């Protein structure tokens, strides 16, 4: 009997690594990675840039199930002008579109617990929920496993917790440390995924998962100190703001603020799992916090965090690559399609009060000139084949301000969000010709100003009467 094929996006992380090992016994497992890797321990690897729809479509070819473990809190280009939530939206939208176009039968997503009570969600939790909804926007059934802190070797959140406790004999505790939370052992997350894969029809929808222990973050730190054999004095400091907490935690643990900040801001919420059949099934045999922590520390001593080496390698690659990623979420005029927004952008741009700028259009090609120069500053070509009502794609094909000899062509796109309320404007793999620091001080800032002005223009614009919706059916034109 042919084994089902499962693709795992985020397979090189600590949860993905555990899943690949556990699932390889019963499934054909394909790990998705930014770089090609040799097959090992029964796991195949496919190179895939999740920012490229074409890459994701190729990576999901022939897959029955796709597991999505991706969060974009760390940079993916030398210059990133974007919030992590907008980056997460693009990645999830690409994944959902590709899954639909390649006939994937089921998506499993590991997200975050969503607190009740009607409180406004932190940006981190709101993004997790948006990703969950986006993955299901194109018709593929989705199981969302919502979890709090996952206790396992190599986890970033656990690394932050243990470093804080290990390095600080006197710990100042912000107000958020009194919030209740329900951590879960990595092995129980794996058990939950295996259960979902065994009975997919019974597990479509969202399911909270957690371990047997509910505690405050302060109590979690105290228990961690006991496991580490340390005595720590803890002093509440209610005036410590999330921003100050982020700086403090990042300084003590050595973790990037881009990673620490969203996590800290999400800790003010009550992170406790709500009752459901999967949670009740997990309760039989679930590891308690101390047992899971001891196991994680033991495993971590023998094997370092899976992405530690790749993060260092990624940073070393980003600087010489000189690429830019810039994403802005803009208001969508009623009834506007992405194609209309793209044409409106080209029509509107020459009206921006930049002295000496003019734009020439020749069919799908737009050339931007300085008035005193024949050679264009930038040349964009609208890819007619890959442009639809909800996604318009330009390629950067030339101009004095753009390099076009890189491994990937620069791209500029407009896409409607799946709820059709906003337009996302995104630049991918753009490589400037200006010296880098000159670029950052001029062209990069200019792009942000132009996008802000275009957003104001769209807020006032009126689109023609056309039907607009996110395409539920896969289209050949949805590429890169």
Distance separating alpha carbons of residues 422 and 427, to the nearest angstrom: 17
Which residues make beta-bridge pairs with 33?
Answer: 47
pTM (2 d.p.): 0.88
Cα torsion 125, 129, 132, 134 to 10°: value is: -120
Distance of CA 108 to the CA centre of its chain: 15
CATH superfamily of 322-460: START domain (3.30.530.20)
Residue 309: strand, helix, or coil: helix
Q: What's the pLDDT at 469?
A: 42
Domain boundaries, the chain: 5-317, 322-460
Q: What's the pLDDT at 310?
A: 55
Query: How many Cα neighbours within 13 Å face the side chain of 305?
Result: 15
Q: In terms of DSSP bridges, do strands 357-362 and 365-370 run parallel, antiparallel, or are they unpaired? A: antiparallel
Token pair belonging to 318? 């980003």
Distance separating alpha carbons of residues 157 and 311, to the nearest angstrom: 16
Assess contact for 65 and 196: CB atoms under 8 A. no
Which residues make beta-bridge pairs with 79?
Answer: 324
Fold for 5-317, please state it. Rossmann fold (3.40.50)
DSSP assignment string, 163-181: HHHHH-SEEEE-GGGGSEE
**305 vs 229, which has greater pLDDT?**
229
Residue 187: strand, helix, or coil: helix
Token pair belonging to 90? 């693009």
Q: What is the pLDDT of residues 206-264, one digit of tens each?
A: 999 999 999 988 888 888 888 988 877 777 776 656 666 677 677 776 776 666 666 66
Q: What is the pLDDT of residues 46-97, one digit of tens each?
A: 999 999 999 999 999 999 999 999 987 666 788 889 998 999 999 999 999 9
pLDDT of 321 higher than 70: no
Any idea which of 52-56, 237-241, 265-269, 350-354 has the lowest mean pLDDT?
A: 237-241
């Amino acid at each position: 009997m042919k084994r089902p094929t499962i693709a795992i996006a985020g397979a090189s992380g600590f949860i993905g690594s555990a899943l690949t090992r556990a699932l390889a016994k019963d499934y054909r497992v394909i790990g998705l990675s930014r770089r090609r890797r040799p097959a090992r321990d029964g796991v195949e690897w496919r190179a895939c840039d999740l920012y490229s729809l074409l890459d994701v479509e190729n990576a999901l070819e022939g897959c029955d199930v796709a597991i999505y473990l991706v969060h974009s809190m760390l940079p993916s280009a030398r210059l990133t002008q974007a919030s992590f939530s907008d980056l997460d939206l693009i990645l999830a939208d690409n994944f959902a579109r590709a899954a639909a176009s390649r006939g994937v039968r089921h998506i499993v997503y590991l997200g975050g617990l969503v607190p009740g009570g009607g409180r406004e969600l932190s940006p981190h939790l709101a993004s997790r929920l948006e990703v969950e909804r986006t993955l299901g926007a194109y018709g593929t059934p989705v199981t969302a496993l919502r979890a709090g802190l996952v206790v396992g070797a190599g986890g970033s959140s656990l690394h932050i917790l243990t470093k804080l406790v290990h390095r600080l004999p006197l710990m100042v505790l912000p107000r958020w440390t009194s919030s209740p939370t329900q951590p879960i052992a990595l092995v129980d997350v794996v058990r939950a995924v295996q259960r979902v894969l065994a009975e997919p029809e019974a597990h479509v929808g969202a399911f909270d998962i957690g371990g047997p222990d509910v505690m405050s973050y302060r109590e979690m730190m105290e228990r961690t100190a006991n496991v580490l054999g340390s005595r720590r004095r803890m002093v509440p400091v209610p005036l410590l703001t999330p921003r100050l907490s982020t700086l403090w935690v990042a300084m003590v643990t050595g973790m990037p603020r881009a990673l620490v900040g969203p996590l800290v801001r999400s800790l003010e919420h009550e992170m406790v799992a709500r009752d459901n059949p999967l949670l009740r099934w997990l309760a039989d045999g679930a590891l308690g916090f101390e047992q899971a922590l001891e196991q994680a520390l033991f495993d971590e001593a023998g094997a370092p965090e899976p992405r530690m080496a790749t993060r260092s390698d990624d940073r070393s690659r980003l600087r010489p690559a000189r690429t830019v990623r810039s994403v802005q979420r803009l208001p969508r005029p009623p009834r506007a399609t992405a194609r209309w927004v793209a044409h409106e952008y080209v029509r509107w741009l020459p009206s921006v009060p930049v002295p000496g700028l003019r734009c020439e259009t020749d069919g799908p090609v737009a050339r931007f000139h300085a008035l005193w120069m024949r050679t264009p500053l930038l040349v964009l070509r609208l890819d007619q084949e890959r442009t639809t009502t909800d996604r318009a794609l330009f390629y950067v094909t030339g101009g004095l301000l753009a390099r076009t000899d890189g491994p990937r062509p620069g791209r500029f796109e407009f896409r409607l969000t799946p709820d059709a309320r906003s337009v996302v404007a995104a630049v991918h793999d753009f490589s400037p010709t200006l010296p880098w620091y000159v670029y950052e001080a001029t062209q990069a800032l200019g792009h942000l100003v132009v996008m802000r002005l275009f957003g104001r223009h769209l807020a006032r614009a009126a689109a023609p009467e056309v039907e607009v919706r996110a395409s539920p059916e896969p289209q050949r034109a949805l590429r890169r």
